[in-house]
Amino acid sequence: MTRKAGIAVLVALLAAFPFAAGEFYVNLASQVFIFAIFAASINLLLGYGGLPSLGHASYLGVAAYASALLTLKAGLANWAAAPLALIGTTLMACFFGLIALRATGLGFLMLTLALSQVLWGTAYRWIALTEGDNGLRGINRPAPFGVSLDDASHFYYFALAVTLLALWLMARFVASPFGAALRGTRDQPRRMAALGHDVWMVRWLTFVYAGFWGAVSGLLFVYYHKYIHPISLSLANSAEGLLAVIAGGSGTLAGPVVGAAIVMILKNYVSAYVERWNMLLGFVFVAIVVFMPEGVVPGLKRLWQRSRSRA
């Protein structure tokens, strides 16, 4: 089976999923799609740019808060609030990139964390705007083309369509000449600079692009939950996304999706049976690092190729 045929079969199975599964599993799959976009946007920085970030939840949270505030307090419709939230969050990513990309490696990691913590603290303390620990409630889902997304299956298909579009555009991004330059800045930044590439600009544009897709995941997040809380901006949320990328396989297109599925299933399904699901998640992550240090997707691919060579 060719790669395109395999993708077509997978999309067909995902399209048929709501007909074979209950509402709980349809909602769980919708959350996996949202988190997959978030993890894939982190993968642009970590996997292809070599820039580990612990502040990517900023874009998810700010986009979600912006959309909620524009609809609840400014009285805008979702079709008007969504693009304004995306534009505003992307502009914030432009500014944050100017600060964070003053360093690389551990310095970059700490700067992204610091910026995220500023926003997290602001969301908690600015009670007049964000209602603090109570969060913003009463958010309505949009109704594109007159189709209400309050139905679980309708929201599932909406999230699936956005996820497929996001993953396709990110795949085109990393497969482009610009994506090749990005991988070059990750592996040989000095050589790329000697060849005439603006290493900082390549990284900054990638930072902004990743922030945009983080904002898209934030819109889906607030539409799904109809509620937004400062925890969405927290370090834990960024760490879960980073963990999903590493567990699934950084620098691969399917890795963040698989990692997102692992994290969300453990968080939403296994947690109903295991009280300390965070500890179980830690054990799963340790097992992946020990037996598949490159991640689940590259590890399974390596095992498949080894079995075929033996056969």
Q: What is the pLDDT of residues 47-97, one digit of tens each?
A: 999 999 999 999 999 999 999 999 998 888 888 999 999 999 999 999 999
Domain of 95, in residue numbers: 21-234
The pair of three-digit structure tokens given for residue 237, joined into one six-digit string: 């949320």
In a domain, 304, yes or no: no
Each residue of 262-310: pLDDT tens digit? 999 888 877 767 677 777 778 888 888 888 888 888 888 888 888 877 7
Distance CA 198, CA 186 (A): 13
DSSP structural state of residue 234? S
Assess if residue 156 is contained within a domain: yes
**9 occurs within a structural domain:** no
Residue 215 pLDDT level (bands cut at 50, 70, 90): very high
Q: Is residue 1 over pLDDT 70?
A: no
Q: What percent of the chain has pLDDT over 70?
A: 98
In a domain, 271, yes or no: no
Please, are residues 112 and 55 in contact by the beta-carbon 8 Å criterion?
yes
- The pLDDT assigned to 162 comes to 96
pLDDT in tens, 84-142: 999 999 999 999 999 999 988 889 999 999 999 999 999 999 998 888 888 898 888 98
More confident residue, 236 or 4: 236
* Residue 200 domain-assigned (yes or no): yes
| Statement: residue 17 has pLDDT above 90 | no
**Count of structural domains, the chain:** 1
CA–CA distances in Å: residue 51 to residues 47, 120, 202, 206: 8, 22, 12, 10
Q: Is 38 part of a structural domain of the chain?
A: yes
Cα–Cα nearest to 289, from 257, 235, 250: 250
What DSSP assignment string belongs to 264-309? HHHHHTGGGT-TTHHHHHHHHHHHHHHH-TT-HHHHHHHHHHHHHH
pLDDT value of residue 311: 67
Q: Does residue 213 lie within any of the structural domains?
A: yes
**The pLDDT of residue 2 is above 80:** no
Q: pTM for the complete prediction?
A: 0.93
User: Sign of dihedral through CA atoms 294, 299, 303, 305?
Assistant: negative
102 C-beta neighbours (distance < 10 Å), count = 11
User: What is the Cα–Cα distance from 152 to 159, expressed in whole angstroms?
Assistant: 10
Residue 239 forms part of a structural domain: no
